């Protein structure tokens, strides 16, 4: 019975490939939540090349100039739901 157990363990361990290329981690800059009144609340974090950190909380109310752009960037939300906020591309994020 012992050789069978060792063989099964070897098969399971063999399935994990340490030489596999690392998956590309998505760039995430924070989290967003939609409130009951459909306000978007973004909790954001940034770090510059020197290691300095900055945190911000930004709210966009329904009807704000950048509301639709931010909601589309997040990929849509419904009241009470939270999502991670992906990095904006090389362009700057919307002005607050």
> Domain containing 55: what range?
29-86
Q: Is the residue at 5 inside a domain?
A: no
Q: Which distant-in-sequence residues (6+ apart) come within 8 Å of 74 by Cβ?
A: 32, 40, 83, 85, 86
Token readout for 4 is 């069978």
Q: Is the residue at 19 inside a domain?
A: no
Which pLDDT score, from 0 to 100, does residue 2 have?
Answer: 37
- Look at the chain and report how many structural domains it folds into: 1
Q: Is the residue at 15 inside a domain?
A: no
Share of the chain above pLDDT 90, in %: 59
Q: Is the residue at 77 inside a domain?
A: yes
Q: Is the residue at 22 inside a domain?
A: no
pLDDT band at residue 26 under the 50/70/90 scheme: confident
Q: Is the residue at 41 inside a domain?
A: yes
**CB-CB contact of 26 with 86 (8 Å):** yes
User: CB burial class (10 A; 0-12, 13-18, 19+) of residue 64?
Assistant: middle
Q: Where are the beta strands (DSSP E) in the chain?
A: 28-34, 40-47, 53-60, 82-86
Digit-coded pLDDT (tens) for 60-87: 999 999 999 999 999 999 999 999 999 9
Which pLDDT score, from 0 to 100, does residue 15 have?
Answer: 45
Q: Is the residue at 8 inside a domain?
A: no
Q: Could you tell me the pTM of the whole model?
A: 0.67
Q: Is the residue at 91 inside a domain?
A: no
Burial 22-56 (b: 16+ CB within 10 A, else e): eeeeeeebbebebeeeeebebeeeeeeeeeeeeee
């Amino acid at each position: 019975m012992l050789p069978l157990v060792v063989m099964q363990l070897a098969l399971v361990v063999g399935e994990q490939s340490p030489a596999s290329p690392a998956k590309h981690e998505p760039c995430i800059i924070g989290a967003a939540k939609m409130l009951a009144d459909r306000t978007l609340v973004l909790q954001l974090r940034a770090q510059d090349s020197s290691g300095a950190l900055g945190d911000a909380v930004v709210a966009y109310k329904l009807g704000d100039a950048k509301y639709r752009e931010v909601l589309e960037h997040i990929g849509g939300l419904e009241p009470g739901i939270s999502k991670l906020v992906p990095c904006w591309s090389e362009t700057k994020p919307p002005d607050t």
